Amino acid sequence: MNPMQWKIWPRLAAVMGVMLALLMLMSALAMLQMKRMQDQTHEITANWLPSVALVNQLNTNCSDYRVAEIGHVLATQDADMAVKDKQMAKVLGDWEKNRAAYAKLISSPEEQRLYDAFMADWKLYMAAHDKLYALSRKNETDKARAILEGESSKAFDAASDTLDKIIELNTTGANQASDTADGAYATARTVVISALVVVTLVALLMSRLLIRSITVPLQRAVVVADAVADGDLRQTVDAQGGDEAAQLMRALERMRQGLMNTVSRVRAKPNRCPPPAARSPRAMPT
**Res. 283 pLDDT band, cuts 50 70 90:** very low
The number of distinct structural domains making up the chain is 1
Entry pTM: 0.63
Residue 121 lies in a domain: yes
At a CB cut-off of 8 Å and minimum separation 6, what does 280 contact? none
Residue 284 lies in a domain: no
Cα(176)–Cα(248) distance, integer angstroms? 67
Which of 77-86, 173-182, 193-202, 239-248 shows the lowest mean pLDDT across its residues?
Answer: 239-248
Cα(102)–Cα(105) distance, integer angstroms? 5
pLDDT in tens, 92-114: 999 999 999 999 999 899 999 99
Q: Which domain holds residue 108?
A: 9-201
Residue 181 lies in a domain: yes
Residue 234 lies in a domain: no
For residues 144 and 73, the answer to whether their CB atoms sit within 8 Å is: yes
**Res. 284 pLDDT band, cuts 50 70 90:** very low
What percentage of the chain exceeds 90 in pLDDT? 38
Alpha-carbon torsion (179, 185, 190, 191), positive or negative: positive
In this prediction, residue 118 carries a pLDDT of 95
pLDDT in tens, 168-221: 999 998 888 888 888 878 887 888 788 888 888 888 888 888 788 778 777 877
